[in-house]
Structure 1
Amino acid sequence: MRFVDGPVRVRVPATSANLGPGFDALGLALGLHDELSAQVISIGLTIEVEGEGADDVPRDESHLVVRAMRAAFVEMGTSPAGVALSCRNSIPHGRGLGSSAAAIVGGLLVARALVPDGDLRMSDAQVLGLAADLEGHPDNVAPCLLGGLTIAWTGDGARAVRRDVDPAVVPVALVPPFSASTELARRLLPASVPHADAAFAAGRSALLVAALTGTPQALLDATADVLHQRYRADAMPESFELMTALRDAGHPAVISGAGPTVLVLARGDVEAEAAEAAAPDGWRVERLAVDAAGATVLPR
Structure 2
Amino acid sequence: MTALRVTVPASSANLGPGFDALGLALGLHDVVEVQVTDAGLKVEVFDAGAGGVEDVPTDETHLVVRALRRACQYLGVTPPGLHLRCFNKIPHARGLGSSAAAVVSGIAAGYALAGHSLDGDAVQLAAEFEGHADNAAASLLGGFVLAWCDHGRFHAERLTPHPSIRPVVAVPPVKSSTEATRGLLPAEVPHADAAFSAGRTALAVHALTTDPSLLLPATEDRLHQHYREPAYPGTGRLVRDLRAAGVAATVSGAGPTVLALTTDGIIPPVAGVEGFEVIELAVDQAGVRVTSR
TM class, shorter-length: over 0.9
| TM-score normalised by structure 2 residue count | 0.95
**Partner residue, 1:82:** 81
The separation in 1 between residues aligned to 2:267 and 2:68, in whole angstroms, is 40
- For residues 226-241 of structure 1, what are the structure 2 equivalents within 5 Å? 226-241=222-237
The separation in 1 between residues aligned to 2:71 and 2:185, in whole angstroms, is 32
The separation in 2 between residues aligned to 1:278 and 1:33, in whole angstroms, is 30
Of 277, 280, 287 in structure 2, the residue corresponding to residue 284 of structure 1 is 277
- Unaligned ranges ≥5, structure 1: none
- For residues 1-300 of structure 1, what are the structure 2 equivalents within 5 Å? 4-5=1-2, 7-55=3-51, 56-115=55-114, 117-119=115-117, 123-156=118-151, 157-269=153-265, 272-274=266-268, 280-300=273-293
- What's the offset of the Cα at 1:299? 4.6
- What's the offset of the Cα at 1:54? 1.2
- What's the offset of the Cα at 1:114? 1.7
Partner AA of 1:230 in structure 2: H
State whether residues 44 and 82 of structure 1, in contact with CA within 8 Å, keep that contact through their aligned partners in structure 2.
yes
- What's the offset of the Cα at 1:134? 1.2
Partner secondary structure for residue 20 of structure 2? strand
| TM-score normalised by structure 1 residue count | 0.93
State whether residues 150 and 161 of structure 1, in contact with CA within 8 Å, keep that contact through their aligned partners in structure 2.
yes
Q: 1:41 to 1:278 in 2, by over 3 A?
A: farther
The separation in 2 between residues aligned to 1:172 and 1:203, in whole angstroms, is 25
State whether residues 39 and 114 of structure 1, in contact with CA within 8 Å, keep that contact through their aligned partners in structure 2.
no
State whether residues 241 and 272 of structure 2, in contact with CA within 8 Å, keep that contact through their aligned partners in structure 1.
no
Partner AA of 1:126 in structure 2: D
Partner secondary structure for residue 208 of structure 2? helix
The separation in 2 between residues aligned to 1:278 and 1:263, in whole angstroms, is 16
- What's the offset of the Cα at 1:280? 3.3
Give 4+ residue runs of structure 1 displaced > 6 Å after superposition: none
Q: 1:14 to 1:108 in 2, by over 3 A?
A: same
Partner secondary structure for residue 245 of structure 1? helix
- What's the offset of the Cα at 1:216? 0.4
State whether residues 219 and 265 of structure 1, in contact with CA within 8 Å, keep that contact through their aligned partners in structure 2.
yes
Q: Deviations over 1:201-238 (max 9, x none)?
A: 00000000000101000000000000000000101101
State whether residues 174 and 279 of structure 1, in contact with CA within 8 Å, keep that contact through their aligned partners in structure 2.
no
- What's the offset of the Cα at 1:53? 1.3
- Unaligned ranges ≥5, structure 2: none
Partner AA of 1:57 in structure 2: V
State whether residues 217 and 267 of structure 1, in contact with CA within 8 Å, keep that contact through their aligned partners in structure 2.
no
State whether residues 245 and 268 of structure 2, in contact with CA within 8 Å, keep that contact through their aligned partners in structure 1.
no
State whether residues 37 and 110 of structure 1, in contact with CA within 8 Å, keep that contact through their aligned partners in structure 2.
no
Q: Identity rate of aligned residues, in percent?
A: 54
State whether residues 279 and 285 of structure 1, in contact with CA within 8 Å, keep that contact through their aligned partners in structure 2.
no
